[in-house]
């Protein structure tokens, strides 16, 4: 394989590193910006006038900032496009989230807000230039009201590699109604707007060091939930954060971030192991502050703002489009540690047992890397069989002899000659499966831990008719259609898969209710600290059972390689 081919494939892989929950199918969703003009009060943050709510009118809810009108059905209520922070525009760009201005009268809350600013992806994810995007959505069971018994609250953090995605594509009506919980989804700042670290941006509207504004947005949502959950029939003292991919990695950060302490009682980490290995691990896992600043300075230079003395003013003068273009998806913006919002490396905090003392549910999908491999193939085409060892060496960052050893462990003959299917298995085991087993062990030392693997290898492919020529298996984000409707529900589930969906909703919401997924006639799920049990979630003959992930993902081999 030529050096030019290796370089091109490296750049392509870097541009794909942020592909996660939401990026493969978001193009099918029409987003409508919901940022209506409202009158501000004389005292920002206080309600200037209140609207009367007739007894029994469950479409109206009074938040601390004003009254919202949602949608009511026979089984659930939905409130969309509620501001949880002031628009981070103008001088507030790269500023910490501030409380939104209140409004008099009634604010219509029937349409989700636009996604935060982001570029389109290789499959066709919807681009956005909207920086006024800090809005959330609340879905409740039909009978959830401020006067009823409070229900558990589940706060969903969307994926997308900290670069793409939004909360509006996740339909939570079935999760809320069947699970009898209140579900909150939301947008947070992404990419250059949410995670760029630069010394010139460490002051002014930023209350902490720059580089983690997206995490600060998530904390602002959790504080909003504390202040407003009761109005929607939720229990502000029973909050579970759950997220997939970058949303799962966010959960790792919240387990050790000082500003998140006391804002949640449980966490579910889906496909975001805190020790995730990746070809370019600086993108998803929290990176050192110095590395993040180097990336930020590089971006500022690309945007024409190289002078440190004027960089902040210069960057704020740039249009959204100019900043997205200067980034080009190549800078790998994501959380960073070393002062400010995330003082220490979350992975090291986990290894040291220095995380929040809360129950944790943690898991991955059986065939994580298929989603990313499909994206790489879409742009680059499959790897030639002769180049298979060399490409593995590039992805794994190992020498030729080690790459050849890996290729012998995963011979193409075991994968019908498909380099794509073989590579997906290699990178699933190395990058996801074995790190997940490490995280299970580390979590269980200090936290009640329930581990799982989503193992339905017949899960409907989520990218429409363009199904890869090799098996898609239990691909990255494949489990989302079992929990949510909306963008991820692209195909009808079989009766066996519908049963699995019911069980997963039962497990997830039981965990949110009590910190234990067991109950309500569900198959038993032993905790990980009771013998290292990992619950396999499959449909049909395999059903739910235990799985030896260490053996399944050949972790003994990978330990010898490492």
How many residues are there in the chain?
Answer: 562
Mind giving me the DSSP string for 99-144? Answer: PPPP-SSEEE--SPPPPPSB---SS-PPPB------EEEEEEETT-
Give the integer Cα–Cα distance in Å for 550 and 81.
43
Of 245, 256, 455, 527, catalytic: 245
Chain center to CA of 9: 25
3-state secondary structure of 184: strand
Tell me if residue 245 is catalytic.
yes
- Cα Rg of the chain (Å, integer): 23
Q: Which residue has 């919901």 as its token pair?
A: 34
Distance CA 315, CA 402 (A): 44
- List the structure tokens of 128: 């956005």
Per the annotation, the verdict on 368 as an active-site residue is yes
Query: CB atoms < 10 A from the CB of 381, how many?
Result: 10
Token pair of 482, please? Answer: 């079992």
Let me know if 409 is a catalytic residue: no
Catalytic residue among 254, 369, 476, 553: 476
Instruction: Describe the strand order of the beta sheet including 106-108 as a list of residue ranges.
Output: 60-63, 66-69, 106-108
Distances (CA, A) of 544 to 56, 185, 540: 42, 28, 9
- Give the torsion through C-alpha atoms of 214, 23, 509, 237, to 10 deg: 10
Q: Are 119 and 192 in contact (CB under 8 A)?
A: no
Given the residues 101, 131, 368, 479, the one annotated as active site: 368
CA–CA dist 406, 379 (Å, integer): 25
Q: Backbone dihedral region of 17: left (phi > 0), alpha (psi from -120 to 50 degrees) or beta?
A: alpha
Query: How far apart, in Å, are the Cα atoms of 561 and each of 9, 397, 398, 426, 430?
Result: 24, 12, 9, 12, 10
Active site residues: 245, 368, 476
């Amino acid at each position: 394989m030529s050096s030019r081919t290796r370089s091109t494939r490296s750049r392509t892989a870097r541009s794909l590193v942020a592909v996660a929950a939401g990026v493969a199918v978001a193009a099918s969703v029409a987003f409508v910006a919901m940022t209506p003009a409202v009158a501000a009060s004389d005292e920002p943050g206080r309600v200037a006038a209140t609207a009367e709510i007739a007894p029994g009118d469950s479409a109206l809810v009074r938040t601390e900032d004003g009254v919202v009108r949602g949608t009511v059905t026979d089984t659930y209520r939905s409130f969309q496009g509620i501001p949880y922070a002031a628009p981070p525009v103008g001088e507030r760009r790269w500023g910490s989230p501030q409380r939104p201005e209140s409004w008099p009268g009634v604010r219509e809350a029937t349409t989700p807000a636009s996604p935060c600013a982001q570029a389109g992806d290789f499959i066709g994810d919807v681009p956005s230039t909207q920086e006024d995007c800090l809005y959330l959505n609340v879905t409740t069971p039909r009978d959830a009201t401020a006067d009823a018994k409070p229900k558990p609250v589940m706060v969903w953090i969307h994926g997308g590699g900290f670069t793409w995605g939004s909360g509006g594509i996740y339909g939570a009506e079935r999760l809320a109604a069947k699970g009898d919980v209140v579900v909150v989804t939301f947008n947070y700042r992404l990419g250059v707007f949410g995670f760029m670290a630069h010394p010139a941006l460490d002051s002014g509207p930023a209350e902490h060091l720059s580089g983690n504004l997206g995490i600060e947005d998530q904390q602002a949502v959790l504080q909003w939930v504390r202040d407003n959950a009761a109005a929607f029939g939720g229990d502000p003292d029973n909050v579970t954060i759950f997220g997939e991919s970058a949303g799962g990695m966010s959960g790792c950060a919240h387990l050790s971030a000082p500003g998140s302490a006391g804002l949640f009682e449980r966490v579910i980490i889906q496909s975001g192991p805190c020790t995730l290995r990746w070809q370019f691990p600086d993108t998803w896992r929290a990176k050192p502050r110095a590395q993040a600043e180097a990336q930020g300075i590089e971006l500022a230079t690309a945007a024409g703002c190289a002078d440190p003395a004027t960089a902040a003013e210069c960057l704020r003068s740039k249009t959204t489009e100019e900043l997205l273009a200067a980034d080009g998806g190549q800078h790998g913006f994501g959380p960073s540690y070393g002062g400010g919002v995330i003082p220490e490396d979350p992975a090291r905090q986990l290894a040291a047992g220095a995380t929040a003392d809360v129950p944790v549910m943690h898991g991955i999908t059986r065939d994580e890397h298929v989603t990313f491999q499909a994206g790489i193939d879409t742009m680059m085409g499959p790897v030639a069989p002769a180049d298979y060892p060399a490409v593995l060496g590039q992805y794994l960052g190992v020498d030729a002899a080690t790459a050849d050893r890996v290729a012998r462990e995963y011979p193409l003959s075991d994968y019908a000659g498909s380099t794509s299917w073989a590579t997906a298995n290699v990178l699933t085991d190395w990058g996801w499966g074995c790190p997940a087993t490490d995280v299970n062990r580390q979590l269980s030392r200090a936290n009640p831990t329930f581990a799982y693997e989503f193992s339905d290898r017949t899960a409907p492919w989520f990218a429409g008719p363009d199904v890869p020529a090799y098996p898609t298996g239990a691909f990255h984000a494949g489990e989302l259609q079992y929990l949510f409707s909306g963008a991820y529900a692209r195909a009808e589930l079989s009766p066996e898969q519908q049963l699995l969906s019911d069980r997963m909703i039962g497990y997830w919401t039981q965990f949110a209710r009590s910190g234990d997924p067991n109950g309500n006639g569900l198959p038993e799920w032993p905790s990980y600290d009771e013998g290292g049990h990992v619950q396999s979630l499959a449909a049909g003959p395999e059903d739910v059972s235990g799985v030896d992930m260490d053996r399944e993902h050949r972790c003994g081999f990978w330990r010898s390689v490492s």
